[in-house]
Amino acid sequence: MTTVLESKPASPPVEKIKIKVDGREAEVPRLMPDWQGKLVPTTMLQACQIAGVEVPHYCYHPKLPVAGNCRMCLVEFGLPAIGPDRKPILNEDGTPKIIRQALPYDPNLPRGAIACATPISPGMEIYASSPATKQMREAILESLLINHPLDCPICDQAGECKLQQYSVEYGQSESRFAEEKVHKPKRVDLGPRIVLDDERCILCTRCIRFSKDIAGDDALGIASRGSHNFLTNYPGKAFDNNYTLNTVDICPVGALTSKDFRFQMRVWFLKETKSLCTSCGTGCNIVIGSREEKVYRYTPRENDAVNACWMCDYGRLNYKWIDRADRLKEVRKQKTDGGREPIAWTSALKEISEKLRTAAPGSVAIIASARQTNEELYLLAKLAKRLGARTDSVPRRGEADKLLFHADRNPNSTGARLTGFLSAEMGSNFNQIADAIRTRTIRTLLVFGEDVTKHGLSAALLKGLDALIVSDILPSPTVELAHYLLPGCAHAEKRGTFTNVKGRVQKLMKAVEPPGDARPEWEFLHELVFNVTGQNGFVSIEGLFHQMAKDVPALAGLTWAALGDTGVTVAI
């Protein structure tokens, strides 16, 4: 049985048309999806992309309505000549005659078209690297740079700036502009998370279109005229919605910068790791930018099945806890007098295994966060089955918004269910577990990544346990009471998978090293499971994933490699 679903609906047969890009023939579909996914005539820019020819562009963004205002994508092109009889005129050798498009008043001056908004037609020839196209690009760049402040040394965008990149690739090496530049406001406080530098803005309106058409907050606009044009927020109203930081990503230059990332690190030092946002059940795909074991920023990564190119500001800024100084770094055991002593991983795991192996059936309960990965929850489910343990997780709900932020604030509720860790509604077992601890039916409690004292298991109750085994990342009252404390990893410090609310199984990759002795939970859990159940564990995450795919019906047929960078949707 395989339950792997296609991520895209079956597409209707596509009509193809033949064009030529830089002299090479290419067959491209007549219709292609626009920013909303609606099929519209293919543009020259899309056709060139299919043909593998890059057309530089600023204002065009595949997920935004086309504006066609920057003119960077101008290309020279030709169309088949049509005779008075509406039939193509042929050359002597029988090939169709192509007419290079020229200005009506001077047939020697080539006429360009903006590739981002011009649909292709059969027989069209696009001259994406002709001398005329090159000249047009040089001229556009020259005009964009006329009033540009050339702030690169102090601009956070440097290194990932399209203006820098295209100037190097397509621009002129020298400036001919000797006049005084027009100055505009700098360091404008647009809102709580964004700083604007109007001198750097090239007026492409990407940010305006994003705010209006994607985020649904018509907050930005362009004021004034001519070279005094400048971007501004609605006077008196701060630019503040849960998606503002996406404008920083799509701004091709350094006009919009993030306050959080401002002057923190130059982008070329950042190691990029593909990962997931863990702040809600949507599971937006992200890139973690880190340097020397410190996370500097999250940026969204394109995945049309989940988050397109966007992520919310809340999730994006929710990373500061990863390198908190009070992270748990040490394996600890409670001494008989109540004090605590460090203990080695091997001894701790041996002692815990012994306790679990000899525990009476039904005397153990496991509470694990739905922030743990599929693999970890799967291993815990195995343990629970063997021990006849009651299990539960802590539900987290909030208010959803229209775009991405989901009401379920746990990143892996679906995984907790699918892997078999949760059999009942999340949170419904807590009272029973509390009662059973009170009546001393349950003598051992395993807690993974939650502060259970906040969820109905009071400190007094926990003190009555024979063994409280806790794995967590940050200190909490539950951690304080633990007989054994096993320091775990943040999602950025380990590999694994999450299943989002729609059933998309997606990978996390490791960006930074865990602090001190902390270890990925799945690593020590597989040892524990092996010791207790005798079933062979897996030392690699791939092996573990494949074992899970074999055991869990919902994940049947999945492989670690098949998940790729963007995951696979399973039936839930």
Partner 1 sequence: MIVKRSPLTFWERLYLPAILGGFKVTLRHFFKKKVTMQYPEEKWTVPPDYRGAPYLVRDQEGNTKCVSCQLCEFVCPPKAIKITPPGLSGPPADRSNAEKMPLEFEINMLRCIFCGYCQEVCPEEAIFLMKDYSLTGTSRAEMIYNKEKLLALGGTHNDRIQKWKWKAEEAKAQGVAP
Angle at 445 (CA atoms; ends 441, 451), nearest 5 degrees: 130
Calculate the dihedral angle through the C-alpha atoms of 244, 246, 247, 250, rounding to the nearest 10 degrees.
180
Select from ligand SF4, ligand FES, partner 1, none the partner in contact with residue 60, using the beta carbon and a kind-dependent cut-off of 5 to 8 Å.
Answer: ligand FES
329 binding partner (options ligand SF4, partner 1, ligand FES, none; Cβ < 5 to 8 Å by kind) = none
Stretch that binds partner 1, among 126-134, 180-188, 346-354, 417-425 (CB under 8 A): 180-188
Phi and psi angles of residue 334, each rounded to the nearest 5 degrees, phi first: -85, 135
Instruction: Show the tokens assigned to 135.
Output: 């000249």
How near is the Cβ of 245 to ligand FES at its closest, in Å?
A: 23
Which of 105/268 has CB closer to partner 1?
Answer: 268
Phi and psi at residue 515, in whole multiples of 5°?
-75, 150
Interacting residues with partner 1 between 244 and 303 (CB under 8 A): 259-260, 262-266, 268-269
HEC profile of 121-164:
CCCCEEECCCHHHHHHHHHHHHHHHCCCCCCHHHCCCCCCCHHH
Query: What is the number of alpha carbons within 13 Å of residue 410 lying toward its C-beta?
Result: 23
If the CB atoms of residues 163 and 548 are measured against ligand SF4, the closer one turns out to be 163
Q: Which is nearer to ligand FES, 72 or 312 (CB)?
A: 72
Print burial letters for 50-61: b (CB count within 10 Å at least 16), e (below 16). Answer: bbebebbbbbbb
CB of 156 to ligand SF4, least distance (A): 13
Residue choice 66, 253, 328, 541 for contact with ligand SF4 (CB under 6 A): 253
- Among 47, 51, 64, 73, interactor with ligand FES by CB under 6 A: 73
Which of residues 48, 51, 55, 207 is near ligand SF4 by CB under 6 A?
A: 207
For the chain, what's the residue count?
572
Interface region with partner 1, contact rule CB under 8 A, candidates 150-158, 231-239, 241-249, 463-471: 150-158
Asked if 273 and 256 touch (Cβ cutoff 8 Å), the reply is no
Q: Which is nearer to partner 1, 40 or 158 (CB)?
A: 158
Answer for which of 16, 18, 24, 183 binds partner 1 (CB under 8 A) is 183
Binding-site partner at residue 114 among ligand FES, partner 1, ligand SF4, none, CB < 5 to 8 Å by type: ligand FES
Q: Using CB under 6 A, which of 47, 256, 349, 426 touches ligand SF4? A: 256
* Strand pairing report for 285-291 and 294-300: antiparallel
Which of residues 74, 195, 255, 277 is near ligand SF4 by CB under 6 A? 255
Residue from the set 72, 306, 367, 508 that interacts with ligand FES by CB under 6 A = 72
Question: According to the binding rule CB under 6 A, does residue 57 interact with ligand FES?
Answer: yes
Using CB under 8 A as the binding rule, whether residue 177 contacts partner 1 is answered as no
> Which region, judged by CB under 6 A, interacts with ligand SF4, from 82-90, 136-144, 198-206, 402-410?
198-206
Nearest to 215 by CA among 239, 188, 251, 191: 239
**Position among 32, 64, 114, 558 found at the interface with ligand FES (CB under 6 A):** 114
Q: Which phi and psi angles does 162 have, rounded to 5°?
A: -70, -30
Tell me the closest approach of the beta carbon of residue 315 to ligand FES, in angstroms: 29
CB count, 10 Å around CB of 81?
14
- Of 129 and 531, CB closest to ligand FES: 129
CA distance 457 to 451: 9
Q: Which of 28, 29, 51, 58 binds ligand FES (CB under 6 A)?
A: 58
Q: Which is nearer to partner 1, 212 or 259 (CB)?
A: 259
Query: Does 206 contact ligand SF4 by CB under 6 A?
Result: yes
Any contact of residue 486 with ligand FES (CB under 6 A)?
no
Look at residue 406 and give the partner it binds from ligand FES, partner 1, ligand SF4, none, a contact being a CB closer than 5 to 8 Å depending on partner kind: none
Determine the Cα–Cα distance for residues 444 and 307; give it in Å rounded to an integer: 41
Distances (CA, A) of 108 to 72, 82, 100, 138, 407: 22, 20, 10, 19, 61
Query: 180 contacts which partner out of partner 1, ligand FES, ligand SF4, none, CB within 5 to 8 A by kind?
Result: partner 1
Q: Which of 244, 159, 227 is nearest to 193 (CA)?
A: 244
Q: How many CB atoms lie within 10 A of CB 358?
A: 7
Select 191 or 283, whichever has its Cβ closest to partner 1.
191
Residue 124 or 256: which CB sits closer to ligand SF4?
Answer: 256
Residue 291 parent element (H or E): strand 285-291
Burial class of residue 43, CB neighbours in 10 A (0-12, 13-18, 19+): buried
Q: Specify whether the CB–CB gap between 473 and 494 falls below 8 A.
A: no
Note whether 71 binds ligand FES by CB under 6 A.
yes
Q: Does 231 contact ligand SF4 by CB under 6 A?
A: yes
60 binds ligand FES (CB under 6 A): yes
Q: How far apart are CA 181 and CA 143, in angstroms?
A: 12
Nearest of 77, 74, 135, 132 to residue 101 by alpha carbon: 77
- If the CB atoms of residues 18 and 186 are measured against partner 1, the closer one turns out to be 186
Joined together, the tokens standing for residue 245 give: 């930081």
Task: Report the nearest approach of partner 1 to the CB of residue 492 (Å).
Answer: 20
The residues of the shown chain that bind partner 1, judged by CB under 8 A, are 149, 152-154, 158, 180-187, 259-260, 262-266, 268-269
The residues of the shown chain that bind ligand SF4, judged by CB under 6 A, are 201-207, 231, 251-253, 255-256
The residues of the shown chain that bind ligand FES, judged by CB under 6 A, are 57-60, 68-73, 114, 116
